[in-house]
Structure 1
Amino acid sequence: MANETLTGSSESRSDSPRAVRAPRGIGRARSARAGLTLLALILAVASVLPVLYMVSASFKTRDTVTDGKLLPSEFTFDNYRYVFTEVPFTRYLLNSFLISAVITVVALLFHSMAAYALARLRFPGREKLFALIFSTLLVTAPVVLIPLFLVARELNLLDSYAGLIIPAIFNAFGIFLLRQFYLGLPRELEEAAIVDGCGHWRVYWSIVLPMSRPILSALAVFFFLANWNAFVWPLVATNDPDLTVVQLGISTLQNQYTSNWNYILAAATVAALPMLALFFAFQRQIVESIKTSGIK
């Protein structure tokens, strides 16, 4: 009886700390979650506030554009009217859209083929070739700017759409990301297609590409955004005003009208709207691609 009493009292003593620790653990988890939520909210506000200020200031007059207020005291559309009537901004937008769209489509096709070959086909030097492609990520764009300009000049690509498109097609990041994605795909579907008589091209076109829609959608957004915001290479490779892209057009507007920030912010807002729309349209695919394409 005494032993049962001692056993019961020891069990009650051993269980009491657990009853005390559980609420503390839950409280710490809630505090950590609240802290992370607050941090995410602060970062979101810090990211969105400049965009909101840019859009708001684009509707302000020249006298009130630098007043520091978020909402305009005098609302006007004259800034956008000026951008589209006094400046060939529509031409700049069309140039950027054409160049970005062509680069995106061609790059996705070539990158997916190269990544599939590096992930599935067996040939001598495959790993060395992939390491060589991956090593180009360590080289920054300014390092290859002058050699690229010299090559483009020798090939007569300057002041042409080809000179703006062809050098931007190759991107080691796309090949790397697609290869990692293909390594995670199940081989059973491809092996079944090969047993049915399909070649590598048919397997790639009919099986691999349809399964790659999430990662291809994400890469399409990344490629289009990068080339839409291209500035340095178009500045170096073109002198023809008819080939001016949107970022160069905004910089030209800023050089001509340094104090007229209402025109500059209106042009920047127009240039940013397609990218925001593209991101919101494909944000689900971007998240899925990040989740499904880890390093393997």
Structure 2
Amino acid sequence: MSRAIINGLLIGCSLVALFPLLWMLSVSFMQPGEASSLPPPLLPRHATFDNYHELFIHAGMGRYLANSLMVSTAITLLALACNLMAGYAFAKLQFAGRERLFQVLIGGLVIPAQVAMLPLFLLLKYMGLVNSYAGVIVPATATIFGIFLVRQYARGIPDDLLEAARIDGAGEWRIFVQIVMPLLKPIMVTLAIFTFLAAWNDFMWPLIVLTGQEHYTLPIALASLSREHVQDSELMMAGSVVTVLPVLALFLALQRYYLQGLLLGSVKG
């Protein structure tokens, strides 16, 4: 009886959490103005793909989708490379000031990101990276959280394994690529999902840096589109589906590795 009650409560909470997403999907297939009627319908009377046709043919949503995909993929790959190497160095390599430097980095976690936006924007302006994809990608290539996450996991790698490789004549780069990286695979997947989701959903920083409409990512394009079609709920819901569906599918496909990396990282840390 207790198991049935617990499972029933979990299913009920899941339905409550999923209802907005399911209704958003349903509204995206409704006729214009249908969602504004009272009471709001749960299902479309006559399902149509006209809203998606309007998005991709007339609103240019395909270009913005490609922009988001390119920017998020580039940020994810570069962030993985930088954070993995930095996290491993802080965990296993000995160099002067390692602990003090790591303490300074951890202190930076308490500083709100909004505080650094103005000086970062001015720096990118002097470098000529404003209104370019590089202006969005470069600041996200290394994050304090990513370095911390990799470091905590890499500390669980046995030192004897690394010393044995050094005695056999392996260089540090070969040790990192052939020994360390395979052991970091769970945390690599976790960090990749974190980074990709953050880059895909980021709205504030691309809005500040990207001034040309041809460079817009999906969140900015959707906000810009809402100003022109503020009453067209069905079109906005279709745009929201296009924005949410790729990252939702990615997370569902990789959630097992994501949770495994978090759990293993917490144990090893």
TM-score between both structures, scaled by the size of structure 1: 0.86
Task: Report the counterpart of residue 123 of structure 1 in structure 2.
Answer: 95
Aligned: 1:64 with 2:44 = no
Task: Report the counterpart of residue 95 of structure 1 in structure 2.
Answer: 67
Task: Report the counterpart of residue 75 of structure 1 in structure 2.
Answer: 47
Letter in 1 for 2:180: V
Task: Report the counterpart of residue 148 of structure 1 in structure 2.
Answer: 120
Deviations 1:147-178 (CA, angstroms, capped at 9, x unpaired): 11111111111011111111122211111111
Task: Report the counterpart of residue 114 of structure 1 in structure 2.
Answer: 86
Q: State how 1:171-210 maps to structure 2 within 5 Å.
A: 171-210=143-182
Task: Report the counterpart of residue 241 of structure 1 in structure 2.
Answer: 213
1:294 is paired with a residue whose SS is helix
Give the C-alpha shift of residue 88 in structure 1: 1.1
Letter in 2 for 1:202: R
Aligned: 1:166 with 2:138 = yes
Size of the alignment, in residue pairs? 266
Task: Report the counterpart of residue 12 of structure 1 in structure 2.
Answer: none
Q: State how 1:257-296 maps to structure 2 within 5 Å.
A: 257-294=229-266, 296=269
Letter in 2 for 1:166: V
Give the C-alpha shift of residue 238 in structure 1: 1.5
Aligned: 1:47 with 2:17 = yes
Aligned: 1:220 with 2:206 = no
2:230 is paired with a residue whose SS is coil
C-alpha distance in 2 between matches for 1:79 and 1:93: 16
Identify if the C-alpha distance between structure 1 residues 261 and 294 changes in structure 2 by more than 3 Å, giving closer, same or farther.
same
Give the C-alpha shift of residue 187 in structure 1: 2.6
1:65 is paired with a residue whose SS is helix
C-alpha distance in 1 between matches for 2:59 and 2:135: 24
C-alpha distance in 2 between matches for 1:154 and 1:35: 61
C-alpha distance in 2 between matches for 1:260 and 1:287: 38
C-alpha distance in 2 between matches for 1:45 and 1:140: 34
Higher RCO (C-alpha 8 Å, min separation 6): 2
Give the C-alpha shift of residue 70 in structure 1: 2.2
C-alpha distance in 2 between matches for 1:36 and 1:137: 37
C-alpha distance in 2 between matches for 1:267 and 1:47: 20
C-alpha distance in 2 between matches for 1:172 and 1:105: 16
Percent same amino acid at aligned positions?
39
Q: Please, which runs of 5 or more residues in structure 2 have no aligned partner?
A: none
2:34 is paired with a residue whose SS is coil
Letter in 1 for 2:16: A
Q: Please, which runs of 5 or more residues in structure 1 have no aligned partner?
A: 1-29
Letter in 1 for 2:36: T
After TM superposition, the structure 1 stretch with the greater mean CA deviation from structure 2, 129-138 or 95-104, is 129-138
RMSD, matched Cα: 1.6
C-alpha distance in 1 between matches for 2:249 and 2:172: 36
After TM superposition, the structure 1 stretch with the greater mean CA deviation from structure 2, 251-260 or 199-208, is 199-208
Aligned: 1:133 with 2:86 = no
After TM superposition, the structure 1 stretch with the greater mean CA deviation from structure 2, 162-171 or 249-258, is 162-171
C-alpha distance in 1 between matches for 2:98 and 2:121: 30
C-alpha distance in 1 between matches for 2:154 and 2:103: 17
Give the C-alpha shift of residue 38 in structure 1: 4.4
2:266 is paired with a residue whose SS is coil
TM-score between both structures, scaled by the size of structure 2: 0.94
